[in-house]
């Protein structure tokens, strides 16, 4: 076995890409990148009845979306293939013959069983420390239909592919004793095992499954989450960088990632927290990248981006600090691009509850029609002057004004928003609302 780190992620193409699988792939990828090693993608496709090319495509597409590029495996190649278990039958039969010659494999009821040593095995786990167990019963390694069992192919593939570190879920900890028995029976170098904590449902009641809300990576792709935000959040499900930070670029995460930071306790999935991570990453994007994603979000929502390139860029730059997600971005800015926007009833109730809303709108028409220069500072000064004449707070103009020209009660900063919309559009909207009030 070479001294260079070699890790693997070995999914079964029998379902969509689950959060737990993504986190396992991510931890393997991070360790490979941290150590300058090799990340292998190996497909466990021996379940012919449940395997699907469509599911395999989803797994690989989702991994690419998350930025988890593999160094060896499907569509990449490598010197240790084939990387599909369904194409490795000859290899498995060769290794079975090794066990037979050593007297460690025998037939029973049509299946092939592995004869255990009867000795206690000690697992030196990089996360949980030394775990001692005795495997008391012989276990099957080939089924009666001639197909190999998970434990057998898993170990054989790790031996053949010279895997140095096995990083997988804590639920596999009970399997590891069988695997140690097999490694020793083959006189093969033992990889270092690192079992990572499980991901629990958001309410903390049991392991998260594919049926739980927010469990599939595909959902976040469809909701236009940023892959770097999902990746950042998944890093912290079971790993603590111990630097007091949560929002981090991937290069920093790679530099910090090691087994010492992996915690023992199970991690609780929190979709709201992931959404917060997503928001923070969105707001930190370079404006060019943000504009690219914003255009896609608007297109998905059926909003026509009118007004020209400069106007569109100004709108996006203004709205970015207020963007909560790309999925809802169109609702934040749609009124910049259409006169046919809806008026939020809850916002209307709040605006008119304070009284004088119509009067304030009329005052705003007068101010905005006559202010010499239609820029944020000049507009703000004009409202302050008028408010002083009336003996009121200048901010009393703002809720009715915003509602009349946008249909909502919140959004980008008002003065820059007025400046971007322009005098003609703002005044026309105010007058139209007053005519229909």
* CA separation, residue 86 to residues 13, 16, 43, 75 (Å): 12, 20, 9, 16
For 89-121, give the DSSP string.
HHHHHHHHHHHHHTT-EEEETTEEEE----SEE
**Helices 398-406 & 357-370, crossing angle to 10 degrees?**
80
Q: Is 210 annotated as a binding residue?
A: yes
Phi, psi of 412 (to 5 degrees): -60, 160
**Helices 150-160 & 176-185, crossing angle to 10 degrees?**
50
Q: Are 139 and 151 in contact (CB under 8 A)?
A: yes
Which of these, 328, 321, 320, 330, lies nearest to 298 by C-alpha position? Answer: 330
Burial class (CB in 10 A: 0-12, 13-18, 19+), 129: exposed
Pairing label, strands 129-134, 120-125: antiparallel
Burial class (CB in 10 A: 0-12, 13-18, 19+), 49: exposed
User: Tokens standing for 36?
Assistant: 């300058």
All residues at 6 or more sequence positions from 142 whose CB lies less than 8 Å from its CB, including other chains = 96, 111, 112, 148, 149, 152
Q: Are 379 and 386 in contact (CB under 8 A)?
A: no
Please state, as a whole number, how many other Cβ atoms lie within 10 Å of the Cβ of residue 245: 11
Q: Are 13 and 73 in contact (CB under 8 A)?
A: no
User: Tokens standing for 233?
Assistant: 């959040």
The Cα–Cα gap between 261 and 127 comes to 9
**What residues form the annotated binding site for ATP?**
210
**What residues form the annotated binding site?**
210
């Amino acid at each position: 076995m070479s001294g260079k780190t070699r890790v693997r992620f070995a999914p079964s193409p029998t379902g969509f890409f689950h959060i737990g699988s993504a986190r396992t792939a991510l931890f393997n990828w991070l360790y490979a990148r941290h150590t300058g090693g090799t990340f292998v993608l190996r497909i466990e496709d021996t379940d012919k009845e449940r395997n699907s090319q469509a599911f395999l495509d989803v797994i690989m597409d989702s991994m690419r979306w998350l930025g988890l590029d593999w160094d060896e495996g499907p569509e990449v190649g490598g010197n240790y293939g084939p990387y599909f278990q369904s194409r490795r039958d000859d290899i498995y039969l060769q290794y079975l013959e090794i066990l037979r010659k050593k007297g460690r494999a025998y037939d029973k009821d049509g299946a092939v069983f592995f004869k255990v040593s009867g000795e206690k095995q000690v697992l030196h786990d990089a996360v949980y420390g030394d775990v001692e167990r005795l495997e008391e019963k012989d276990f099957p390694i080939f089924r009666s239909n001639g197909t190999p069992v998970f434990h057998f192919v898993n170990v054989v593939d790790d031996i053949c592919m010279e895997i140095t570190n096995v990083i997988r879920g804590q639920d596999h900890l009970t399997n590891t004793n069988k695997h140690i028995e097999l490694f020793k029976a083959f006189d093969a170098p033992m990889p270092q095992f690192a079992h990572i904590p499980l991901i629990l449902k958001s309410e903390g009641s049991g392991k998260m499954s594919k049926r739980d809300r927010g469990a599939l990576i595909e959902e976040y792709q469809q909701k236009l989450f940023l892959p770097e935000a999902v990746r950042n959040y998944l890093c912290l499900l079971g790993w603590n960088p111990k630097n007091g930070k949560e929002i981090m670029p991937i290069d920093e995460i790679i530099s910090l990632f090691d087994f010492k930071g992996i915690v023992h306790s199970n991690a609780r999935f929190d979709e709201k927290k992931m959404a917060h991570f997503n928001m923070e990453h969105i707001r930190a994007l370079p404006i060019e990248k943000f504009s690219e994603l914003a255009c896609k979000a608007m297109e998905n929502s059926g909003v026509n981006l009118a007004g020209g390139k400069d106007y569109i860029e100004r709108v996006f730059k203004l709205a970015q600090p207020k963007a909560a997600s790309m999925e809802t971005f169109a609702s934040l800015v749609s009124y910049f691009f259409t006169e046919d926007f809806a008026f939020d009833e809850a916002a209307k109730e709040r605006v008119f509850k304070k009284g004088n809303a119509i009067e304030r709108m009329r005052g705003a028409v007068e101010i905005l029609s006559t202010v010499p220069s239609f820029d944020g500072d000049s507009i703000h000064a004009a409202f302050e002057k008028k408010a002083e004449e009336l003996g009121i707070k200048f901010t009393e103009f703002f809720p009715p004004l915003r509602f009349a020209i946008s249909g909502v009660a919140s959004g980008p900063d008002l003065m820059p928003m007025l400046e971007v919309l322009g005098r003609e559009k703002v005044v026309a909207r105010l007058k139209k609302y007053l005519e229909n009030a």
